[in-house]
Structure 1
């Protein structure tokens, strides 16, 4: 097929950044069959994302990840991020030239992860639109946009470390400086990621549109404020409701195990995403809480972490608990047996929880997770933040019992159900997210 338009898609291959970008690209590709999408991402990330169901008009392209060639990388997650950012944008420039040469079609738009701020300069040089995709919530984007004001507010307090309420940021009145992503505070020892995010804030106003996998109605005040700051501020999600995931095989038996329980809202599902394993003392506290409460639980936990659990825990709980190395999370949360989700508070996990009406127990670790968890508890009222932000036996027992057995827990379940209704309305044909998606097609030149 002769394509009329070539969109360059630049991914950030860490955490859960590339998957939601690909979900968006799949929606766009289905709506614009005469556009070719070159999805440029690291080989390792592409290998996990692409399968036999790829679209004809999406081409996966590998970009060098900055790691030494020809030898396995053994560094940490954060070292890998640093190497990748060092290799950029040269690695992307090379991949774009190759994509243009092979397709015979010049790039007409750059749709990129918002972290890749240099894409704005690349788009400007080419005279094409730059459309950054923010993979997190609008509340965290807002916190970055207000970086200068936050830093000034902290400097104006007598003690720099003192917590300060963010009453000057629309929609973040219940948040304090302690809840913020650490990357906001550059300090003297800034990480490559912190420098990248701060450069992103400088460049975002030059974008043609800023796109989010969220919906306007979750934070109307923040939405209104950010709409005043960008030419097109487009919430087009949640993608899990806009284009539900295909059925996956239940190779670890999670869904059949849940089905066998036959008790609505009775199971605690536990997962901390793809990057994080809690420290050993917190794993022990969580295990003790689960043993004490004896709620049925399903835990997605990496094999190496199982070795750090208290002696005998697996045997003592196998009558009411199931542990697996991998779990089909959206399908598990959608199962009627699941009544609570113990999570790190990542944005994709929160959206999946809202889509399935499951309240959350949040133990945040890094990035936007503290801020998300604060919003879960104090703004949206759809869950709780563990006491002190870490797992202790008593604090975790209290959270589990509150969600599973009390009126407050029932109220959170009701709140998350109302939020789901708003999300469903947003992705309806006349909803805000659907209208924004149509606008996005226009911006990239596919309409």
Structure 2
């Protein structure tokens, strides 16, 4: 998917990231891919200084340049993440215009394409002012995009004031969402529209049809009903993933960081036997649930790798690390993508965040999900009842008994064999999608043309 591509003349693309959570890294990965495919195009990547500092890489193509945009926070800010997001939104439009103009002056090229995270819906008007095309990246799956695209319809059909009594109702009035309950939707769908994020996501859903292209890190075969529904609604609706199967968007295999020897450890385990636990970089279950996970692992005696930040290790039961030293390992960081690809991997325990879900799908590994916020509930529900490749933890929280039951079901029972078989089929479809002439390959070429054309 990195075939050299030459635009008719040099072009300039401004890439604007949403600098919170895990939005910026996949957008940089896609920018890397586009930059490698179009070496005469300049890609100016804009995010906050804090976000950019966590993204810099020495092996980026030479035609990617980083630019900082102000975060809008007052000096010494100690507020909550929602407050930080609101302040960023308030400052972003004016300050981004200024930074874009400075970048154009610096390189002597006008921006011809504005490529942004979908959360930055206000870029639709900015693109018109700049006489540039607007190309939008949705950092999650088609399921959550559907929920936000249809926010008004969902709110009107269910009723905002009646929602508490209708949590089990299905969203069958939306194509592809027939098995999804109201309670699975992101909290922003029924959120107070006076708050920054619920309002932004609703505005995003309304603005997206104005985009020249909307693309996401997924593949058409994963959600065919949602794909069929969206294609006529956008000028271009493009699934270009899974990114986990495209090495040019990440570090090369020879550069894999594995400071704690996880890959050497897993090589000694039996096929489909290892439990990997990782909850991403943003949220972790509360201390009581970490105790329940540890107790379930110890009593089940299954081999495990647990990626857990050092500050949270203090919550583990006394003596747990010593007692399970031969059984497994708890590390502050693990090479997740490479671990999931190993034949010894049996199940991935995660928060049902989209990047984790798609990495698991790409590796053909069943999942146990513990949704925390945002799109997690939708992703977990799809994994369980639509794709049938995993389970959501009982009642949404870890208990020793509930975790033991899930591990037993997936690792040792017929239900787990079915999940593994379904996961394997999706993995094969994902690999075909990113191969030459696959659906994601073809979609990427359309995306590339939209981004670099002048």
TM-score interval (norm. to shorter): over 0.9
Q: Does 1:5 align with 2:46?
A: no
Distance 1:47 1:434, change over 3 A: same
Map Cα deviations across residues 83-127 of structure 1 (whole Å, 9 max, x no partner).
Answer: 322221222112211211110111000000000011111001112
Map Cα deviations across residues 126-145 of structure 1 (whole Å, 9 max, x no partner).
Answer: 12110110010001101111
Map of 1:250 onto structure 2: 258
Q: Distance in 2 between matches of 1:156 and 1:137?
A: 24
Q: Residues 135-154 of structure 1: matches in 2 within 5 Å?
A: 135-154=139-158
Q: Distance in 2 between matches of 1:159 and 1:341?
A: 32
Map Cα deviations across residues 380-439 of structure 1 (whole Å, 9 max, x no partner).
Answer: 011111111111121111111111111111111111110011111111111111111111
Q: Does 1:103 align with 2:107?
A: yes
What is the root-mean-square deviation of aligned Cα atoms in Å? 1.8
**Deviation of the 1:352 alpha carbon:** 0.9
Q: Distance in 1 between matches of 2:166 and 2:47?
A: 40
Map of 1:355 onto structure 2: 362
**Deviation of the 1:187 alpha carbon:** 3.1
Map of 1:397 onto structure 2: 404
The SS at the match of 2:229 is helix
- Scaled by the length of structure 2, the TM-score of the pair is 0.94
Map Cα deviations across residues 277-324 of structure 1 (whole Å, 9 max, x no partner).
Answer: 111221121111111101111111111111122222222222212111
**Deviation of the 1:328 alpha carbon:** 1.3
The SS at the match of 1:88 is helix
Q: Residues 268-283 of structure 1: matches in 2 within 5 Å?
A: 268-283=275-290
Map of 1:306 onto structure 2: 313
Conserved? CA contact 1:154–1:160, under 8 Å: no
Q: Does 1:26 align with 2:32?
A: yes
Conserved? CA contact 1:35–1:446, under 8 Å: no
Distance 1:341 1:98, change over 3 A: same
**Deviation of the 1:262 alpha carbon:** 3.1
Conserved? CA contact 2:160–2:190, under 8 Å: no
Q: Does 1:161 align with 2:169?
A: no
The SS at the match of 2:443 is helix
Q: Does 1:171 align with 2:176?
A: yes
Map Cα deviations across residues 202-255 of structure 1 (whole Å, 9 max, x no partner).
Answer: 211111110111111101110010112111101111122133531212112111
Q: Does 1:328 align with 2:335?
A: yes
Conserved? CA contact 2:175–2:225, under 8 Å: yes
Q: Does 1:218 align with 2:222?
A: yes
**Deviation of the 1:275 alpha carbon:** 0.6
Map Cα deviations across residues 153-179 of structure 1 (whole Å, 9 max, x no partner).
Answer: 212996643221001111111100000
Q: Does 1:114 align with 2:118?
A: yes
Q: 1:88 aligns with which of 89, 92, 99?
A: 92
Q: Distance in 2 between matches of 1:380 and 1:221?
A: 12
Distance 1:156 1:278, change over 3 A: closer
Distance 1:329 1:74, change over 3 A: farther
Map of 2:300 onto structure 1: 293
Q: Distance in 1 between matches of 2:216 and 2:158?
A: 29
- Scaled by the length of structure 1, the TM-score of the pair is 0.95
Conserved? CA contact 1:286–1:392, under 8 Å: yes
Q: Distance in 2 between matches of 1:424 and 1:30?
A: 21
Q: 2:210 aligns with which of 206, 210, 220?
A: 206
- Specify every segment of 5 or more residues in structure 2 that has no aligned partner in the other structure, as ranges: 1-6
Q: Distance in 2 between matches of 1:341 and 1:445?
A: 38
- Specify every segment of 5 or more residues in structure 1 that has no aligned partner in the other structure, as ranges: none
The SS at the match of 1:228 is helix
**Deviation of the 1:78 alpha carbon:** 3.1
The SS at the match of 2:260 is coil
Q: Distance in 1 between matches of 2:171 and 2:131?
A: 38
The SS at the match of 2:140 is coil
Map of 2:83 onto structure 1: 79
The SS at the match of 2:175 is coil
Conserved? CA contact 2:38–2:452, under 8 Å: no
The SS at the match of 2:315 is coil
